[in-house]
Amino acid sequence: MSFQEAIQYRTELHKLAELSGQEIKTAQYIQNKLEEMGFNVRSGVGGHGLVVDIDSGVAGPMVMLRADIDALPYADPNDPERIEAIHACGHDAHAAILLAAAPEIRKNLKKGKVRLAFQPAEESLQGALAMIKDGVLDGVDIVVGSHIRPVQDLPFGKYCASVNHVACATVEVRIDGKQAHAARPHLGINPIEAASQYIASVGLIKIDPNKSWSVKPTQIHSEVGATNSIPSFVKIAYDLRAQDNAALEAIIGRMKLAAAGLEGSFGAKASCEVTEYCPGPEYDEALGELFKETVAGTFGKETLGTNCGGGGEDFHFYKKAKPELRVLYYGIGSGAAPGLHDRNMNFNEAILPQASQLLVNVVGKILA
């Protein structure tokens, strides 16, 4: 089979781009295609998610194949007040690859079960959690995901067995002081001064130097008022990145300790809240080796690329919710440029039929 229909699927999905949680037309398109193929589709899973189960009738593990379907928001150049949705991260490609592979997976399945999961709201980090809540992991033993990679990561036509995302979080710190006239600072508690000590303290955090990590303040706001008044509060936003979940948790713990120390040194009270959180990967090494064997057997050893990555992915909530899962998440060298999340991102669609064929072969290898 040529899998050429993957290109047409991507073209049509690209035009339907919708934001996280709003994937109504996208989900309907995917459902229509799946039903035309003869699949029984469960819709409305975790919002606009779709699930299809394929059963070989022979006992074996269940493999879930996940493709995300949402797009990114950008201001319209002609009307900055208008937000438009654009597939600038390749989710249209991921859905097209899985759609094109679906009938061949069904045709060739000899053992176990396969669950096709078209997931909404990846960009908002809410889709995986919502699908988990709706039972998408029930009975699942293995989860497989993938992502097209930019030219900076992988050359066109190469594949890597591991996309090394990071654990990441947004932390918001609120420091409450005491308002006073700036001419009588001794009657107040200045949260800006306390904030500067807090930022300095966080800058001195040290964790395992063998792990990569970063902590950056990205926003700071104080109470709006007169310039000759000490404000009553300050808010600081932090972006956190860490190589693994343990490192991220260590950073958050030390940030909370630093916040608690402000009351003793300044009299200011501080809260430290994690407002966004995305776990890092915990991949199954055996599945990674199996993937490499499959790539080499399908396209040749020269198509194997080195592992790449960066950024975060809500895919990793699946493993966090069900620790016994075996997980594989691989990269597809698509020639994407100038880079992911650039509104003008584009890639070489010739990779789509290849990627669909590879997915079929990977499933066949896992369930051999």
153 and 289 in a single domain? The answer is yes
38 and 155 in a single domain? The answer is yes
Residue 259 belongs to domain with CATH number: 3.30.70.360
155 and 224 in a single domain? The answer is no
Q: What is the pLDDT of residue 51?
A: 98
Neighbour count for residue 259 (Cβ, 10 Å): 24
153 and 207 in a single domain? The answer is no
Tens digit of each residue's pLDDT (9 = 90 or more) over 97-145: 999 999 999 999 999 999 999 999 999 999 999 999 999 999 999 999 9
Percent over 70 (pLDDT), the chain: 100
Binned at pLDDT 50, 70 and 90, residue 81 comes out as confident
Q: What is the pLDDT of residue 80?
A: 84
Tens digit of each residue's pLDDT (9 = 90 or more) over 327-368: 999 999 999 999 999 999 999 999 999 999 999 999 999 999
pTM of the complete model beyond 0.85: yes
86 and 156 in a single domain? The answer is yes
Mean pLDDT to the nearest integer, 251-261: 97
User: Is 87 annotated in some ligand binding site?
Assistant: no
User: Is 221 annotated in some ligand binding site?
Assistant: no
Instruction: Report the distance separating Cα 72 and Cα 320, nearest Å.
Output: 25
Instruction: Report the distance separating Cα 95 and Cα 26, nearest Å.
Output: 10
Q: What is the pLDDT of residue 2?
A: 79
> How many domains is the chain partitioned into structurally?
2
- The domain containing residue 286 runs over which residues? 5-165+281-366
Binned at pLDDT 50, 70 and 90, residue 311 comes out as confident
189 and 274 in a single domain? The answer is yes
Whether the predicted pLDDT of 194 surpasses 80? yes
212 and 234 in a single domain? The answer is yes
Q: What is the pLDDT of residue 179?
A: 96
Q: What is the pLDDT of residue 127?
A: 98
Residue 348 belongs to domain with CATH number: 3.40.630.10
Q: What is the pLDDT of residue 128?
A: 98
Whether the predicted pLDDT of 312 surpasses 80? yes
261 and 345 in a single domain? The answer is no
| Residue that terminates a domain, selected from 212, 246, 278 | 278
Q: Do 118 and 98 form a contact (C-beta atoms < 8 A)?
A: yes
User: Is 181 annotated in some ligand binding site?
Assistant: no
Provide the mean pLDDT of the chain.
97
Whether the predicted pLDDT of 240 surpasses 80? yes
Mean pLDDT to the nearest integer, 287-316: 95
89 and 236 in a single domain? The answer is no
Q: What is the pLDDT of residue 1?
A: 67
User: Is 14 annotated in some ligand binding site?
Assistant: no
Whether the predicted pLDDT of 160 surpasses 90? yes
20 and 139 in a single domain? The answer is yes
203 and 149 in a single domain? The answer is no
| Residue that terminates a domain, selected from 231, 253, 278 | 278
252 and 355 in a single domain? The answer is no
Mean pLDDT to the nearest integer, 78-98: 95
